[in-house]
Chains A and B, each alone.
Chain A
Amino acid sequence: MTFDEWLRVDRLPHIYCAGCGNGTVINCTLSAVDQMGWKKEEIVFVSGIGCSSRAPGYIVTDSLHTTHGRAIAFATGIKMANPDLKVVVFTGDGDLAAIGGNHFIHGCRRNIDLTVICMNNMIYGMTGGQGSPTTPRGALSTTTPYGSSEAAFDLCGLAAAAGANYVARYTSYHVKELTLAIRTGLGNPGFSFIEALVQCPTNYGRRNKLRQVSDQIEYFKSHAILAQKAERMREEGKKIPDDMIIIGELARRNRPALGVRK
C-alpha cells in the first residue's frame, strides 16, 4: 500500500506542527486498516474537536468531524443505524477524557463495536497548551504554570474498568506495535480502545524540558515498559517508578458487543 491512496492528497501538508505525533498515528491507523483488507466505502472515521480530530479530514473515506467530546456518541448512532459500516473514532485526551468522559465510559459499558484511537499528547494542543486530564502531576502548561497539582487520568484503566473488549497502549515511537494493536482492535468485536501517547513538541515538550522532537521520542523509548514486564516486576516485589509508561495489550475479553450484525 501507499499512504497516498488513503489520503486526500490535495489537503496535504496537514495542519500539524513539525514533529507532531498525530501524523504518525494516522500512518499506523491507515496501515492497520489496509491490512484488514477493508474497502474505503465501508469505513467511516469520526472525530471530535482538537488536533487529533483533524485527522479524518485527511483520509479519503467518509468522515465526520463533530462537536467537542461527542465523537463516540455520533459514532454510536452511525454504527447502530448501519452495522455494516466499520466505524473508527479519532480522539484526543481532552476530547475523550474531559468533555467526552461520559460518552467514553458509556461507550465502553455498551461495548459498542467501535475502534477508538486516542492520541494522547497530555495537553490541549490546539488551544495553545492548557492542562488536560492526562497532564502528569507537576507538568507545566499555560493553565498550570506552577506545575499540575492534579493526578492524571489512566485512560486505559478507565476503559478496562468500564468494560471495553480490547484495551492497549503504545506510543508514537512504537509504530509497529501500535499498528498491530490497532489492527487487533479493528478485528475485535466490541469496544476497542487504543491509547497512543504522542509527542507535542510545540505545547508540551517546549514547556517541560523536552524541547526537541527527539527528546520526547527518546523519553517514550526510555520510559516505556511492557505490561508483562511490569507484571513480573510487581510479582518480584520491585518498584516500578511512577513516571514509567506501561505499554502493551492491557485487556482483551469477549463480552457481548452492541452494533454487530447477528
Chain B
Amino acid sequence: MRLVIDESRCKGCNLCTLVCPYRIFRPGTKANPRGVIVPELDRPERCANCRLQRLYGRTICGMCQMICPDQAISWEEEGPCEPMKVAIEY
C-alpha cells in the first residue's frame, strides 16, 4: 500500500504533520496550481499502515486520515512489483 495525499482536496492545514508518530508529513514549501501548499511526504514507506494493513486486515494507526478535515489522505494499492534491470557498478 502507498500513502497518498489527494492534492485536489488538500487545503494545506498541516494537521497531518501534528499527529503522525513517524513524522512522515512535513509542511510543504511550494504552492500547487490551486495555490495550496500541500505537505510533503518524507519516506512514506515507513508508514506502519502501508506495510501492515494487509497483514492485519484493518487500518493500523490511521491518525493522519482520521484528523484530515479534507478527506485527502488515503492508502492506495500498489501494482505488483515490476522486475527492473539494475546496473550495479562495482
Query: Quick check: A3 and B67 within 8 Å, CB to CB?
Result: no
Given the known A-B contacts A4-B74, A214-B18, are A24 and B67 also in contact in the complex, defined by CB atoms under 8 Å? yes
A173 to B74, CA, bound (A): 19
B: interface residue count bin: 10 to 19
Query: Quick check: A176 and B71 within 8 Å, CB to CB?
Result: no
Neighbouring A residues of B18 by C-beta, 8 Å = 214, 217
Query: Quick check: B69 and A175 within 8 Å, CB to CB?
Result: no
Report which of B12, B36, B68, B74 forms a contact with A23, defined as CB distance below 8 A: B68
CB distance from B73 to the nearest CB of A (A): 9
Which of B13, B63, B68 is most buried by chain A, counting CB atoms within 10 A of its CB?
B13
Query: Quick check: A175 and B70 within 8 Å, CB to CB?
Result: no
Q: Is B15 an interface residue (CB 8 A)?
A: yes
CB distance from A117 to the nearest CB of B (A): 15
Query: Quick check: B12 and A27 within 8 Å, CB to CB?
Result: no
Query: Quick check: A176 and B66 within 8 Å, CB to CB?
Result: yes
Report which of A2, A13, A19, A179 forms a contact with B66, defined as CB distance below 8 A: A179
Residues 155-213 (chain A) with a chain B CB within 8 angstroms:
172-173, 175-176, 179, 201, 213
Residues 1-55 (chain B) with a chain A CB within 8 angstroms:
8-9, 11-15, 18, 36
Q: Which residue of B lies closest to A176 (CB)?
A: B66
Report which of B14, B65, B70 forms a contact with A14, defined as CB distance below 8 A: B70
Query: Quick check: A19 and B63 within 8 Å, CB to CB?
Result: no
Query: Quick check: A214 and B14 within 8 Å, CB to CB?
Result: yes
1/0 per position for A1-32, CB-CB distance to B under 8 A?
01110010000111011111111101110010
A141 to B67, CA, bound (A): 26
Query: Quick check: B71 and A214 within 8 Å, CB to CB?
Result: no
Report which of B13, B63, B66, B74 forms a contact with A18, defined as CB distance below 8 A: B13
Residues 61-85 (chain B) with a chain A CB within 8 angstroms:
63, 65-72, 74
Query: Quick check: A24 and B9 within 8 Å, CB to CB?
Result: no
A16 to B74, CA, bound (A): 19
CB distance from A34 to the nearest CB of B (A): 11
A176 to B67, CA, bound (A): 9
Query: Quick check: A12 and B9 within 8 Å, CB to CB?
Result: yes
Query: Quick check: A21 and B74 within 8 Å, CB to CB?
Result: no
Neighbouring B residues of A28 by C-beta, 8 Å = 66
A17 to B13, CA, bound (A): 9
Neighbouring A residues of B9 by C-beta, 8 Å = 12-13
Neighbouring A residues of B72 by C-beta, 8 Å = 13
A-B contact pairs, 17 of them (CB 8 A): A3-B65, A3-B71, A12-B70, A13-B72, A14-B70, A18-B11, A20-B13, A23-B71, A24-B66, A24-B69, A26-B71, A27-B71, A31-B66, A213-B14, A213-B15, A214-B15, A214-B18
Residues of A in contact with B (beta carbons under 8 Å apart) = 2-4, 7, 12-14, 16-24, 26-28, 31, 172-173, 175-176, 179, 201, 213-214, 217
| Across the A-B interface, the 9 shortest Cβ-Cβ residue pairs | A23-B69, A19-B13, A18-B11, A175-B66, A18-B13, A13-B9, A213-B13, A3-B71, A24-B69
Residues of B in contact with A (beta carbons under 8 Å apart) = 8-9, 11-15, 18, 36, 63, 65-72, 74
